Structures are given as C-alpha cells and as structure tokens.
Structure 1
Amino acid sequence: MKIKGITDIFFDLDHTLWDFDKNSALTFDKIFKLNNININLNEFLAYYEPINLNYWKLYRDEKIDKASLRFGRLNDAFSAVDFTVENHVIHQLSEDYITHLSSFNHLFENTFEILDYLKHNYTLHIITNGFSEVQQGKMKNSNIIHYFKTVTNSESVGVKKPNPKIFNHALKAANTPVNKALMIGDNYEADILGAINIGMDAILFDTKNEAINEDVKQINNLIHLKNYL
C-alpha cells in the first residue's frame, strides 16, 4: 500500500545503504596485514560483529564513550578468540580501522536504483549515529552524498537515535513537519521506534528477515520501497 502525504525521506546510513559488515570485513583484512596480525579473519569476525553491535547499543544508550567503544570491541573480540594483542597495538588497529574504513564502499543491492527513483518525488536526508569524521567520507567515496539535502549526525547534535532530539533536529534542518516525514533504517530500536515515538512513519530494512514486529512496515531489499513510495 502506498504511503500518502510524504515529502521527505530520512535514511539511516550504516546497515541500510552502506554495507557496513562487508566493508568492515575488508577493512580488517587490510589493517591486520598492515600490522602483521596473523589471525583467522572469519573466526575473528564471527565474534567481533555481535560484540560490536552490543558496544554500539551501550554507546547509543550513553553508557560508554567513543574511545571505550573503539578499544573495547577489539579487545573483547581478540579475547574471545584467545588471541593476545598488546594494548598499544589495539589502539593502533582502532585508529587504522577508522582511517581505512571509508576506502571500501560497497552499498546494498539497488541503492542507486532506489535513490534515483525517490529523488524525483521526495527530498532525501540522512540521520546517523556513526562518527562524523567517518560518515562524510563513506557517503562521498561511495558516490551517494549528492542525493541528500541534509545529513544529521549524532555527534553534532549531542544525542543519538532513538533520542527524540536527533529526529526533531533533523526535521528542523529539513524544514518539514513530522507528518510528512518517513524514516528508513535497519535498527528497530534506534530507527523505527525512535521515529514512531515522535509521530514519524517508518519502514524497517530487515535484511535478515527477522520479522521483529508484524505491525511495522518492513522490506528486505531496498527496491521494495517502491511498494510504499
């Protein structure tokens, strides 16, 4: 069913347009080679990815700071695979990861197709909890930055999704009322509930087909946004 009355669409970036897991894996492969870390990459990633998601939840909930996230997720993952790495090397890997992450720019299937489709009838925006120094590079290097009129970053606002302040800040920057706005993202708590709680419509990008809430509009491929817009 088509959604009526929408003028502005707000996208999350990581895990929604920008394929974080794929780009992250390539980055780790690169920085491990640069730092002579001889570890089984697939085994490391199997532990790192859920650990990283948990650290991001702690960061989103204001329970840890950025430095703790960057160090802790690596330290815990190395511990999980019983691989000893000195603290100064973890700090170096953390810096290298941020430096090289935006050099890999795989997007989810049909990203360009859907953005080209939507841009003719809607004004497009980004709301992201990612680090500001990295997110601009991701959008620029993956050639999608020109699609978006505004980019709202949690670091510049001072709060993270699902805090209503970041959504309200984004709406003000876009100069659009909440009843004409739509949020699209992969995180049920941060993107979907965050938007719904301020009265914004939302669509969950559910690539893992988890069917989190049957009352929430969901897609598993970006091209399926055409069913709603």
Structure 2
Amino acid sequence: MYPKGILFDLDDTIISYSPVAEPLWRKLCREFTFRHDSCDAEVLYETLMEISNGYWSDAERHRMGRLNLEAARREVMDLVSARLGLDPAEARSMADAFSVQREEAVHIFDKARETLEHLNQRGVKLAMMTNGHSSKQRAKINRFGLEKYFSAILVEGEMGFGKPDPAVYHRALKALALSPEEVWAVGDNLEWDVAGPQKLGIFGIWNDFANTGLPEDSDIIPDRIINTIYDLVLD
C-alpha cells in the first residue's frame, strides 16, 4: 500500500550524480599530466581525493561549499596545487572543466520517470527536497522535465536552509497538507533523507543506489532499503 505522500531527494535518487565523479576526475588528471610533466596522474588523483574528502568532511564547509560548487572545487584545487607544487591557474582550470563536464554527464536513473508517473497515477502526492544552489538544482530539474511530477519542490538555495534542518521536512509536509505518519521520505543520504525525517515520525527509506549495503558502523537504521526508486513500484 502506498502512503499519501512521498518526499523525494534529487541527486543520486532520481538522477545519477555521484557515479560520474571518479571517472571524470581520473580523466582530467590524465589530461593534466599529459600536458604537464610536473607529476604523475595517479599521484595527482590520490592527492586530490585525500584533500577533497577532508574538505567536504566538515559539515559547515559542506553546507557553504554546496551552494557554490565551482568556488569550492577551486579551493580544493588550490590546496592540491600547493601540496604538489602545481601552477595554481592550471589546477583551477581543471576544477572548472570538472564543473562543466560533470553537469553534462549527469543523467536520470533508469525508470525514474516511470516511477514518478506511476505514483502520480496512484494519487500519491510528491514533494522534492534538494540541497544545493538554486540555479544548479533547477537546471537539472528543468533539463529532465521533473517539475510536472511534484506538488512542491524545495531547494536549499531558495529557502536559506536545507536538509537535515527540520524546517525543510515541516515545509514539505505543509505543502502536501499531510502529517508525518502519512508520508515516506526517500533518498541516498542516511542523515538527510532517513534520520532527519525519522525524528519527525516519517518513514525513512534509504536509496542504496551504489548497492554498497548499510555501513557496519551506521547508527542510522532505515525503515526500508531500496536500490532504485523503481523498487517502490514493484511492491
């Protein structure tokens, strides 16, 4: 039985966003070292990953950085260039190339549209909650024609706050005119899309799109685990 409403995440839930990052960074590292003999491609990539993971592990820096990804990626590459002695301008150009090419590589998950259409036909009210800058998130929503499926679309950059702030879930519930026990929340981020909603009494579904399984040390236990939102249709 379907709930009266579902709160969907966007990136890595409806559209594939993260999987394109590693192969793209590796390609750009190879291209960079082909033009410059200053370092090895694998050393450049491993250094980039180490610094990037540290940069994004800080919650406040993550919150600010995701609202201006181009600037954040340039900051990361500044740190990489300082570590490896690279030309800062050349390193920043690699960050800019990543920003452009990543958006081009993003694609909608297989059968995501069919899932949303199916839920619409069943009378399930849908809301989208997505973190990030308004222009970036809206561009993806428009590119894949997703707006028509949702009664409400809540974007962090437009509201001034984002997941896991309880205000986001409250606003989504208000937009759908539903109570917590009448909706599900679906997304790939355990903290933002599962734990946050669960604290309000919302059924939290984790989209394990990479099929990695729940981390052994996770203290967040989803009410349900799926690998694609199309799994919601197969019940």
Range into which the TM-score falls when normalised by the shorter chain: 0.7 to 0.9
User: Which has the higher Rg, Structure 1 or Structure 2?
Assistant: 2
Cα distance in 1, alignment partners of residues 152 and 109 from structure 2: 21
Comparing 62-71 with 141-150, greater Cα deviation is found at 62-71
- Is residue 105–residue 142 contact of structure 1 (8 Å, CA) maintained in 2? no
- Tell me the residue number matched to 1:62: 60
Cα distance change on mapping 1:91 and 1:193 into 2, 3 Å = same
Structure 2 CA distance, aligned partners of 1:72 and 1:129? 20
| Distance in 2, Cα, partners of 1:200 & 1:221 | 19
Equivalent pairs, count? 218
Deviation at 1:55, TM superposition (A): 4.5
SS in 1 for 2:186: strand
Counterpart CA distance in 2 for 1:133 and 1:193 is 27
Question: Partner residue of 1:140?
Answer: 142
Q: TM-score with structure 2 length normalisation? A: 0.73
Contact 2:205 2:224 in 1 (8 A): yes
| Alpha-carbon distance in structure 1 between the residues aligned to 2:50 and 2:14 | 20
Structure 2 distance, partners of 1:145, 1:45, is 37
Give the corresponding residue for 1:150: 152
* 1:107 maps to amino acid: I
Q: Distance in 1 between matches of 2:167 and 2:226?
A: 26
Question: Of 222, 225, 228, which aligns to 2:232?
Answer: 225
| Distance in 1, Cα, partners of 2:12 & 2:183 | 21
Q: Secondary structure at the match of 2:104?
A: coil
SS at match of 2:113: helix
Do residues 37 (structure 1) and 37 (structure 2) align?
Answer: no
Q: Deviations over 1:189-211 (max 9, x none)?
A: 11100110111112110132313
TM-score (norm 1): 0.75
Deviation at 1:180, TM superposition (A): 1.6
Cα distance in 2 for partners of 1:191, 1:211 equals 14
Residues 185, 204 of structure 2: 8 Å contact kept: yes
The 2-side partners of 1:219 and 1:141 are apart by 25
Q: Map Cα deviations across residues 97-148 of structure 1 (whole Å, 9 max, x no partner).
A: 5455443341222212211211112121110112211011111112323212
Q: Tell me the secondary structure at the aligned position of residue 233 of structure 2.
A: helix
Contact 1:10 1:124 (C-alpha < 8 Å) held by counterparts: yes
Identity %: 22
Alpha-carbon distance between aligned partners in 2 of 1:114 and 1:49, rounded to the nearest angstrom: 34
Query: CA 1:176–1:214 in 2, change beyond 3 Å: closer, same or farther?
Result: closer
Deviates more, 1:114-123 or 1:214-223: 214-223
Q: Give 1:111-130 correspondences, 5 Å limit.
A: 111-121=112-122, 122-130=124-132
Residue 172 of structure 1 and its aligned partner are, at CA, apart by 2.1
CA RMSD of aligned residues (A): 3.4
Residue in structure 2 matching 1:7, options 1, 4, 7: 4
Instruction: Specify whether residues 145 and 52 from structure 1 end up closer, same or farther in structure 2 by C-alpha distance, changes over 3 A only.
Output: farther
Q: Structure 2: state its 5+ residue gaps.
A: 35-39
Distance 1:123 1:209, change over 3 A: same
Q: Distance in 1 between matches of 2:142 and 2:186?
A: 20
Structure 1: unaligned runs, 5 residues or longer: none
Could you say if the C-alpha distance between residues 160 and 54 of structure 1 is closer, same or farther in structure 2, counting changes exceeding 3 Å? farther
The one-letter code sitting in structure 2 at the alignment partner of 1:130 is: G
1:20 positional shift: 0.3
